[in-house]
Amino acid sequence: MVLQRHLWLARLAVLICAGAWGSEPDDDLLTQQQALEQCLKQSVVHNTPDTTIAQLRDSCQALINNGEKSNLHSLDIGVLDTRLKVENISRANRFILTPNNRNFILPANYIHHPNAEPFAQSTGNPVQLQNTEVEFQISLKVLIAQDLLHDNGNLYLAYTNHSHWQAYNGNLSRPFRETNHEPELLFSATSGWQLLGFRNVLNQVGLVHQSNGQSGTLSRSWNRIRLRSVVERGNLALSFSPWYRIPESTDSDDNPDIEDYLGRYELSAAYAYDNHIIDVTTRRLFSSRGSLEVGWSFPLRPTMRGYLKYFNGYGASLIDYNVKIESLGLGVVFTDLF
């Protein structure tokens, strides 16, 4: 919301300048400069004293450019780099929780064959799950230390909640079929090396715990050390995320074969075009136990975007890690990839 407010203020500054001249200004550089000055004034109010003027200027310029849908190629600034610069405006504000992964809700998520077997085993009775349910995700991060590598390297505490809710299943009292909790201690550093026109803009290492908070036969959990490296070229971003599972004792391991289905890495690609974003994510590529997720987000309103998501494979959730699921969901995303 604060970012939207900054963007609104920047646009308002442009409109005020236009009104002062009695018509639309001919000099775009003049209006951009005045919008930049307005954004800087607001940013100074909402940031801590250790945020530099250069950081605020870069963030505001990226925000204004993004709001005007400028050509990212001509600006020599990538889509993820734009997001990182915009985050600089709010990350030092203690009243703001910064998005980590996507935040979305799919009121209509259709599953071809919902997995009822774990619940039938747990209760000893057949369970009738509905094909259509609500899927949503809340993902946030809080800056707890910054500039650990001179003027680079930030440490975050992140949390992601990914839920599948049988909201239309009145016969079962509308239960949450599955909720995955993922707290993470995340170290993130920017970079600038280039290869074949692609620029490495972000590298991360995280200590990740993921579980569904259940007990008995429904319990699923694992711990990982996860790396992530992102390269981009203009509107295209590519991500490679390998991980190492921290071993558990045989007695406490709820899912010893989880790597046979979720693998040891994740590959993602995202492309932005005319305010639309297409993204693809896969695990265990070329394997019969892999997964494929395809998303499309599109503009609706300033504070939200439409979101269509297709999933096919294993690992749609922890309770379904070893069951193949096919689903198609439609809803809205509140904070996107970039």
Lowest mean pLDDT among 79-88, 203-212, 272-281, 296-305: 79-88
| Separation of alpha carbons 123 and 191, rounded Å | 51
| Separation of alpha carbons 49 and 91, rounded Å | 13
Dihedral sign for Cα atoms in the order 330, 331, 335, 338? positive
Please state the CATH superfamily assignment of the domain spanning residues 98-335 in this structure: Phospholipase A1 (2.40.230.10)
Compute CA distances 139 → 99, 136, 247, 288, whole Å. Answer: 6, 10, 26, 30
Q: Where are the domains of the chain?
A: 2-90, 98-335
Catalytic residue among 122, 191, 211, 219: 211
| Structure-token pair, residue 35 | 């919008």
Query: To 10 degrees, what angle do helices 2-21 and 53-67 make?
Result: 70
Query: To 10 degrees, what angle do helices 2-21 and 79-90 make?
Result: 90
Residue tagged 């075009």 (tokens)? 273
Tell me the pLDDT tens digit for each residue of 161-190.
999 999 999 999 999 999 999 999 999 998
In this prediction, residue 264 carries a pLDDT of 97
Residue tagged 């509308």 (tokens)? 174
Q: Cα–chain-centroid distance for residue 136? A: 12
Residue 122 above 70 pLDDT?
Answer: yes
Hey, is 19 helix, strand or coil?
helix
Query: To 10 degrees, what angle do helices 28-46 and 79-90 make?
Result: 50
Q: 252-262 burial, b if ≥16 CB within 10 A, otherwise e?
A: eebbeebbebb
97 falls in which pLDDT band (50, 70, 90)? confident
Residue range 127-138: mean pLDDT, rounded:
97
In this prediction, residue 150 carries a pLDDT of 84
Q: What is the pTM of this model?
A: 0.79
The answer to whether residue 73 is catalytic is no
Lowest mean pLDDT among 36-40, 143-147, 149-153, 202-206: 36-40
Lowest mean pLDDT among 41-55, 161-175, 182-196, 289-303: 41-55
Residue range 249-260: mean pLDDT, rounded:
93
In this prediction, residue 42 carries a pLDDT of 57
End-to-end CA distance of the chain: 15
Residue 75 above 90 pLDDT?
Answer: no
The answer to whether residue 249 is catalytic is no
In this prediction, residue 73 carries a pLDDT of 40
Angle of CA points 298, 301, 305, to nearest 5°? 35
Residue tagged 């979305």 (tokens)? 104
Catalytic residue among 46, 181, 191, 209: 209
In this prediction, residue 79 carries a pLDDT of 74
Residue 1 above 60 pLDDT?
Answer: no
- pLDDT > 70 fraction of the chain, expressed in percent and rounded: 75
302 falls in which pLDDT band (50, 70, 90)? confident
